[in-house]
């Protein structure tokens, strides 16, 4: 038997979609206004086309907390290593959400771009036309040599590590022992490599490679910062730590946040390394949740087959689903919590790709990650910090939980795992408002007839476990 009661919480918690009843105090509760300092320079580097590039970050600070030693998080935007900016809505929203909890949060720019494969110039021209019809901008720019994608990742890793050292060495009131890194999409790839790729795992492709064969074909002129004048040289990129802001504190991190990213090698993760919080959608067409090549599914599902050469030029990667499976079999694996969200597979011409997050879901991801990391920052006592996920136990929405039917009208069947006591269940609309809450002691049928038609996030909590599902209430 279930008991319903309405949700009344303060406005900032409504916006973030976090029930006040479950909030904790160790940098987990939104409590501060946020002040942003934009375009703070943190280094100068050479980009892939031979141009000098100034790197900058936006710094998000909690206002009025008076804390002289706060945790920090460095956030990295996505964009297929080609586009994007530190002001991208997802990382900017994540930075604000972390800062509102008392973190010092920064969102960084890093070097973008890579050389295109001249051997696919004709296909790239056709792909550009079909991509425009399918609503995908400049897909011809994705025709990279596989080594070029690796080199672009390595440049991002060097820049992110330089940014981490800048945060530790140059920004006041930072607890240098509690600095985290996170990223979305390509930024998730970079964050994972920063956290887990060791010096001895630095790819050989980061070394000097032969110059690009021939000139820059016309199909790719719009893909390069300076068009056909882009340098064809590929010098060695230098050490894995990069050369920015050396001296003082190193670029090690306390934990990693991955949103839609992946690893080029699962073997980069070893025992004793930083805890991981990850979010992915199961049918991600851009960056596979399992093992696969980025954009492979996008092109097959959404752009017909004229662009089929693109995935053949990208290296395979391992997304959050594959990472979770690997960690679950790894002895003494780092603590990890993986949230795999269910996303219906889109069909041509694809109005979405299961590679998108809303403001509400970004805030929920931050809330979960902050909760996951909290006992690292504030150890509970002599027993130390025991994270959910230690020794291979993960939080995963693939657990035996189902909400059906979906879409739903009237009654919703909630199936819960056996052997659990009380689950706290809350329904949030897309504005982040808690509209309904209940306690469940097992699988049951809920009457949700009072809910207005629309999309809802359903958060189910038990002890330290939390899972979020999406439902649609139909007319």
What are the φ/ψ torsions at residue 172 (nearest 5 degrees)?
A: -75, 160
Residue burial 383-393, b: 16+ Cβ < 10 Å; e: rest: eebebbbeeee
Question: 291-292 and 434-440: which strand pairing?
Answer: unpaired
Give the pair of three-digit tokens for residue 236: 């060695």
State which fold the 1-21+400-475 domain adopts.
Answer: Immunoglobulin-like (2.60.40)
Relative to beta strand 402-404, strand 291-292 is unpaired
Helix, strand, coil content of the chain in percent (nearest 5): 30, 25, 45
**Domain spans in the chain, listed from the N-terminal domain onward:** 1-21+400-475, 31-398
Tens of pLDDT, residues 278-312:
999 999 999 999 999 998 887 777 765 556 556 67
DSSP code for 7: -
Q: Which H or E run includes 99?
A: helix 89-100
> Three-state DSSP class for 61?
strand
Enter the tokens of residue 132: 């425009």
Phi, psi of 49 (to 5 degrees): -85, 5
Cβ neighbours for 351, distance < 8 A, ≥ 6 positions apart: none
d(CA 146, CA 154): 13
Tens-place pLDDT, residues 327-382: 988 888 899 999 998 888 887 777 788 999 988 889 999 999 998 998 889 876 55
- The encoded tokens of residue 35 equal 């002040």
CATH class of 31-398: alpha beta
Contact 470, 460 (CB under 8 A): no
Contact 61, 37 (CB under 8 A): yes
Each of the 475 residues of the chain gets a pLDDT tens digit; together they read 333 322 323 233 333 333 332 333 689 989 999 999 999 999 999 999 888 999 999 999 999 888 999 999 999 999 999 989 999 999 999 999 999 999 999 999 999 999 888 888 887 877 777 666 656 667 788 888 889 999 999 999 999 999 999 999 999 999 999 999 999 999 999 999 999 999 999 999 999 999 988 778 887 877 876 666 788 899 999 999 999 999 899 999 999 999 999 999 999 999 889 999 999 999 999 999 999 999 888 777 776 555 655 667 789 999 999 999 999 888 888 999 999 988 888 877 777 889 999 888 899 999 999 989 988 898 765 555 555 444 333 344 444 577 888 888 889 988 887 654 578 888 888 777 888 888 887 788 999 988 988 888 888 877 656 677 778 888 7
Residue 69 C-alpha from the chain's centroid: 26
pLDDT of residue 419: 52
Instruction: Provide the H-helix boundaries in 283-390.
Output: 296-302, 309-312, 320-329, 359-377
């Amino acid at each position: 038997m279930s008991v319903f009661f309405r949700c009344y919480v303060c406005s900032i918690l409504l916006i973030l979609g976090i029930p006040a009843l479950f909030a904790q105090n160790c940098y987990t509760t939104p409590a501060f206004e946020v002040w942003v300092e934009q375009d703070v320079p943190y280094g100068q580097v050479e980009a892939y086309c031979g141009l000098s590039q100034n790197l900058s970050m936006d710094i998000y600070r909690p206002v009025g907390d008076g804390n002289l030693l706060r945790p920090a998080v460095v956030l990295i935007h996505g964009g297929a290593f080609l586009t994007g900016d530190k002001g991208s809505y997802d990382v900017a929203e994540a930075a604000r959400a972390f800062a509102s909890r008392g973190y010092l949060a920064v969102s960084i720019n890093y070097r973008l771009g890579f050389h295109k494969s001249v051997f696919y110039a004709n296909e790239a021209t056709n792909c550009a036309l079909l991509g425009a019809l399918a609503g995908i901008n400049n897909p011809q720019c994705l025709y990279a040599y596989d080594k070029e994608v690796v080199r672009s990742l390595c440049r991002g890793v060097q820049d992110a590590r330089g940014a981490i050292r800048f945060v530790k060495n140059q920004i006041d009131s930072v607890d240098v022992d509690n600095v985290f890194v996170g990223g979305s999409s390509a930024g998730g790839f970079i964050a994972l490599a920063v956290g887990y790729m060791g010096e001895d795992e630095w790819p050989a492709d980061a070394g000097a490679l032969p110059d690009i064969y021939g000139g820059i074909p016309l199909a790719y002129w719009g893909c390069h910062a300076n068009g056909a004048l882009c340098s064809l040289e590929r010098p060695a990129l230098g050490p894995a730590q990069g050369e920015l802001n050396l001296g003082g504190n190193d670029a090690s991190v306390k934990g990693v946040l991955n949103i839609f990213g992946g690893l080029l090698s699962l073997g980069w993760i070893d025992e004793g390394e930083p805890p991981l919080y990850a979010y992915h959608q199961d049918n991600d067409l851009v960056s596979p949740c399992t093992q696969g090549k980025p954009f492979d599914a996008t092109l097959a599902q959404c752009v017909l087959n004229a662009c089929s050469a693109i995935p053949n030029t990208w290296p395979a990667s391992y997304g959050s689903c594959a990472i979770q499976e690997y960690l679950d079999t790894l002895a003494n694996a780092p603590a990890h919590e993986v949230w795999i969200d269910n996303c219906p597979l889109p069909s041509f011409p694809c109005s979405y790709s299961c590679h998108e997050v809303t403001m509400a879901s970004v805030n929920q991801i931050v809330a979960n990650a902050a909760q996951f990391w909290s006992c690292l920052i504030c150890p509970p006592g002599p027993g130390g910090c025991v994270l959910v996920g230690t020794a291979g136990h993960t939080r995963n929405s693939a657990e035996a939980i189902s909400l059906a039917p979906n879409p739903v009208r009237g009654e919703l069947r909630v199936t819960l795992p056996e052997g659990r006591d009380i689950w706290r269940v809350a329904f949030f609309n897309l504005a982040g408002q808690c509209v309904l809450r209940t306690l469940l002691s097992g699988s049951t049928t809920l009457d949700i007839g009072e809910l207005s038609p629309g999309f809802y996030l359903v958060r189910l909590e038990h002890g330290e476990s939390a899972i979020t599902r999406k439902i649609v209430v139909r007319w």
